[in-house]
Amino acid sequence: MTTGQLAAVVLAAGKGTRMKSDLPKVLHRVAGLSMLGHVVARVRDAGAMRAVIVVSPDQGGVREAASEAMPDVSIAVQERQLGTADAVGAARGALKGHKGPVLIVNGDTPLLRTETLATVVDATKAGVDICVLGFRAQNPFGYGRLITSEGGTVDAIREELDASDEEKAINLCNSGVIALRSADVMVLLDDITNDNAKREYYLTDIVGVARERGMTVGVVECGEDEVLGVNSRNQLAGVEAIMQQHLRAAAMADGVTMHAPETVHLCHDTKLGRDVVIEPNVVFGPNVSVGNGVAILGFSHIEGATIADGVTVGPFARLRPGADLRDGTKVGNFVEVKNATIETGAKVNHLAYIGDARVGAGANVGAGTITCNYDGAAKHFTDIGAGAFIGSNSALVAPVSIGDGAYVGSGSVISHDVSAGALAVTRAKQVEKDGWADRKRGTAKAKTRQKNSVKG
């Protein structure tokens, strides 16, 4: 690791027993991304050139989740959970030879802001040896308290179980985020003992150790919501709600209209153009990009889709991964699109399924049409040419190609290619029997009269 570069240590070894889950706590998702992924992305954006993730021995999938945000993360294993200082100590090998600043954060705080972390790191560059991120808690119970002198220097961090009544009255609390300018973090950690109520090695004691060595410790404050940690499903839901508020506010500030923003669910990576209108109860999953002037009508669900300018989607539409809607297209009521391109100006308006397909420019797909793309063993492709018209309630059995400008009659099952400009119809011949309906009704009425007569 190059001298002067920022390194981050992300503490992710907590088991999260209150989550009651087989999934490691930090891998639970907020706005479509793991909490760990959020934290790693924030430390990366704050300038960290490398991140070391500290995990317990049985935490599978952590590297993959962290790599979504930062491909070259390192993993350090905390063999036994002896406290947060011991967890940072597990990163000793990964930090060997590092001479730059170190930023330590918890992996279950997905609401952290890049700007806040950068401010903490910048404080160490400005002269303090250690900078702690603090917040004013409405109810400080359970948090470590920041013990400060009159000049604003942090003299100690006192955990709840070890605090005096006077110290418990302090509402300036520890967030768990610490930046150190010291060239040798591990030397400070080696002086930390477990002489406390829980018999653990607290990272927070690094402040007292540093002060005994004559080092300076400063504090940067942020809002309480920003450093909320997650230890239960209820807390996860609370953090999700705050994240959604942030994402919606940012989208509306950038020119998106939401008729009922509290009902719209966004993903961490949702990209929305200008003058996009989103009606109530729309859900965006991961990897969605929306162009300008798009209307997303109510109760639509979109993931893994690309939507160009001037498109109308919904209501009650579902766009699945690989859906590619080009300029001016329409995908309407109860239409599902998966791994398919809908080219410029094409329309799929009602009750249709378009999967593994291309719908050519200006084509019209009628209500109830499906592409039969799966034969029980493999997926196959359907190609619908430009300007083609697919009549309602048609089944296109892939692999099949409908030529440009071709016409498929309503109710047809198409299992062979259709030439450009041709008409394809596979319906059975209509048969009409004069007077049949009247005779049927008459017979039914006679049976009813006879039944009532017997009862009488």
Angstrom distance (rounded) from CA 402 to CA 374: 18
Cα–Cα distance measured from residue 455 to residue 400, given in angstroms and rounded to the nearest whole number: 60
Verify whether residue 38 is a known catalytic residue. no
Amino acid identity at 3: T
Apex 31 CA angle, 30 and 35, nearest 5: 30
Q: Report d(CA 87, CA 136) in Å as an integer.
A: 26
E-strand ranges in 27-83 read: 29-30, 33-34, 48-55, 74-77
Q: Please count the other Cβ atoms lying within 10 Å of the Cβ belonging to residue 139.
A: 9
Question: Any idea what DSSP says for residue 419?
Answer: -
**Three-state DSSP state, 285:** coil
Q: How crowded is the C-beta side of 430, counted as CA atoms within 13 Å?
A: 3
Q: Cα dihedral angle (237, 240, 241, 242), rounded to 10 degrees?
A: 130
CA atoms of 74 and 89, how far apart (whole Å): 14
Q: Tell me the two tokens of residue 124.
A: 């160490």
Contact 51, 87 (CB under 8 A): no
Q: Which of 246, 301, 350, 380 is catalytic?
A: 350
Sequence-ordered strand ranges (E) for 48-171: 48-55, 74-77, 102-106, 130-136, 145-148, 154-158
Q: How far apart are CA 83 and CA 199, in angstroms?
A: 9
Which residues are the active-site residues? 350
